[in-house]
Structure 1
Amino acid sequence: MAVNLKSVGFALLCVVWMAEGAQAQNCRVSVSQPRVDYGVISREALVEPLSIALSTRRVQLNVLCEEPSVIALRFTGAANGQGFRFGRQGRFNLTLKHALMDGRAVEWTQAHLPAETASGQLLPGQVLVARGAGQRLSAQVEIDTNLPADALHVRNQAVLEGQGSFELVSPAAPRNR
């Protein structure tokens, strides 16, 4: 069945939100760009692959604390396997890169495995903890988005989006969703 498709729009929306928590009360989180827009993609320009990887986007994440604190982060959004839902069928993944705490490179651990080093990938339900305490954390957030090819089979222009929020949490805080 052939569908005449003029174009399909894609937008990834990341909303910044700070969670309540004992360790996070004296800290503030911000991102350089709370909305990442992939723009309009014309189906005619695409070859028929099984899935489509949209270009990697990057935003800057900053955490500023009034006093040295243990900084733990999670991203909450609708889970889709090892990533977060993008539209009905797609997925986006988030990875923290080039992280610095008070000017020093950050080593990440998972809250439930504090002795092991983590890669910096934010997975659904996972809390990443920066080893050590500090007042200022900065990291580049890489956003990788994939869609199955049939997600582009629509009659008119359609907006696909993924939503979620970064949360500062106490490293011991349970997942609230």
Structure 2
Amino acid sequence: MAVKLKKLGLLLFCTMAMSEAVQAQNCRLSVSQPTVDYGVIRNEPLTHSPTLVLGTRMLHLSVLCMEPATIALRFVGAADGQGFRFGRQGHFRLTLKQAQVDGHAVEWAPVQLAGEPVGGQLLPGQVLSTRAVGKRLTAQVQIDTELPSDALQVRSHAVLEGRGRFELVSPTAPLSR
């Protein structure tokens, strides 16, 4: 994600950069858009909230495997306390929704913790698994991005961005740093 801020009619331009396609073992992961563009946002004096919500964006994620596999993935990006870092002060959160393996609905489960489904929220350092074996995974990726309102107070152009990539992993793969 990138943001450009400008004095006098302050503009905000946001994008999120993600890997378009990733290959792991016998599977290939792809996202429908490698970049999420939040467009131009002007700093309006009408903002009374301490937080500026940039809005929800949706991407389509798919994994295609040559042989049936348990599909697990993670998102690697700069972490903050509430998700992944966006600029110096903001953050974005990723939620995987409507997941299906070979056309059947599945729930996500964290690989590190034994047990309960997590509803698809992809947290820093976390691997999510479908816990189902199949050749094709499809899911929607919901991206929610927030900035503190004072992040818009700049004197010239400024670029804010959040970057990261999805990785396919085997459930026992160590976390990359």
User: Does TM-score exceed 0.5, indicating one fold?
Assistant: yes
Q: Secondary structure at the match of 2:44?
A: helix
Distance 1:77 1:152 in 2: 23
State the 1:26 CA deviation.
Answer: 0.3
Query: Does residue 59 of structure 2 align to residue 59 of structure 1?
Result: yes
| Equivalent position of 1:37 in the other structure | 37
Does the CA-based 8 Å contact 2:47-2:149 persist in structure 1? no
Number of aligned residue pairs: 171
Q: What residue number does 2:160 align with?
A: 160
Q: Offset at 1:46? A: 4.3
**Aligned partner of 2:171: which letter?**
P
Identity of aligned residues (%): 60
Change (3 A) 1:103 1:152: same
Task: Tell me how far apart the structure 2 counterparts of residues 13 and 6 of structure 1 sit (CA, whole Å).
Answer: 23
TM-score, normalised to structure 2's length?
0.91
Please tell me whether residue 97 in structure 1 is matched to residue 97 in structure 2: yes
List per-residue Cα deviations over 1:21-53 (Å, max 9, x = no partner).
Answer: xxx310000000110010111112641310111
Give the stretch that moved more between structures: 155-164 or 126-135. Answer: 155-164
TM-score after normalising by structure 1: 0.91
Q: Write out the 4+ residue segments of structure 1 that deviate beyond 3 Å after TM superposition.
A: none
Q: Distance in 2 between matches of 1:50 and 1:147?
A: 9
Aligned pairs (5 A) from 1:56-135:
56-135=56-135
RMSD: 1.6
Q: Can you give the 5+ residue segments of structure 1 that lack an aligned partner in the other structure?
A: none
1:18 aligns with 2:25: no
Higher relative contact order (CA 8 A, sep 6+): 1
SS at match of 1:114: coil
Q: Is the 8 A contact 1:10 1:161 kept in 2?
A: no
Structure 1 residue 135, shift from structure 2 partner: 0.4
C-alpha displacement at 1:82, in angstroms?
Answer: 2.8
SS in 2 for 1:161: strand
